[in-house]
Amino acid sequence: MAVSSRRAMVALSGGVDSSTAAALLLQQGFEVAGAVLVHGDYKIQEAAQKAARHLQIPLYVYDIKELFEKVVVSYFLESYLKGETPNPCVICNLKIRFGFLLERAQELGFPFLATGHYARCLYHEGRRRYLLAKGRDKAKDQSYFLYGLKQEQLRHILFPLGGYTKGKVREMAQRWGLPGAQARESQDICFIRGDYRRFLRERAGDRIKPGPILDVRGRLLGYHQGLPFYTVGQRRGLGLGSGKPYFVLGWDVQRNALIVGEEGDLKKMRVLFSRENNYILWEEPPPSAEITAKVRYRGKETAAFWYNLGGGRARVEFADFPGAMAPGQSVVYYQGEWVVGGGIIEGYESEYGRMACRL
């Protein structure tokens, strides 16, 4: 017996976005089931169960605490300890939500997995590829976190909210009486309560050592509490007590030294290098291309030239300062509404030389 193509599992947290995504699919005639991923906060499971009861759909509960620890938390810790600023949401989307959960959906006979992301997935006849586009609501667009998706994932993904604004989603949720319609959005890392520095101290305090703070000419300015507690572009919390502001430019892991400079030094960041690039718009990446790019989710989308270095690596030359380029964060490339792809920032170029965790 063939599996109906009108069946979708929805990643259900009980919040307004995932609940509205499920309700929209039901209106479109889909057979819908919810699935909640639990890795510590059981309030999410309770909220998902409440939403599923309201929607009258079955709910599958997956306790992924061990998997989440192995895949996301360990990546988060090790990235900081090797001198990078990790982006756990990108890894979670790729390996947990659209990896583990997509596999569970297909095992249960659901051809599609839907989420409440503000993005769009479309099949392009001319390119014969599934493409990823920005969500209609530019203030809520979440395509930045999804650049790592592959064709075999995109063909099975639905983003019901991609064509709506957040205001319209809340309006629909209220009209339909959905639980969580007025819930506040969480902006924090989902597995950390409070300051991430405390989390690092608790989990890896013996591997974090204080050291010198140096300016770009090697002069000693003060001492830091541990390199993982700082990120490129950071201004506050350096404890230098000087009359002029300093910004973190990078660090020398060998000397356990934090490198700082003035604002003018920071804004000279115009060239970055990235690794582990994934391309959605292109089947085979060209030698070079004109793009726009973002180096942070809330960063400025800036015009740039992209160059293929081979082996999954790229060089990006920006027309203007796009924001602090922190190794470990994601750089995402766009052409208009389309997501070209993206990769992990491994370092940047400055007049002082190549910086990638060291000067």
Q: Is residue 190 flagged as an active site residue?
A: yes
Rg of the chain over CA atoms, in angstroms? Answer: 22
Q: Is residue 357 flagged as an active site residue?
A: no
Catalytic residue among 89, 121, 190, 357: 190
Helices in the chain by DSSP H: which ranges?
A: 16-27, 42-55, 65-68, 74-81, 88-91, 102-107, 151-154, 166-175, 196-204, 263-266
Report the C-alpha gap between 245 and 261 in whole angstroms.
Answer: 9
Report the C-alpha gap between 232 and 216 in whole angstroms.
Answer: 14
Q: Is the dihedral of CA 4, 10, 146, 78 positive or negative?
A: negative
Catalytic residue among 89, 92, 121, 357: 92
10 Å CB burial of residue 141 (0-12, 13-18, 19+) is: buried
Non-local (6+) Cβ contacts of 96 within 8 A are 37, 64, 67, 68, 71, 72
The distance between the two most distant Cα atoms of the chain, rounded to a whole number of Å, is 75
Active site residue ranges: 92, 190
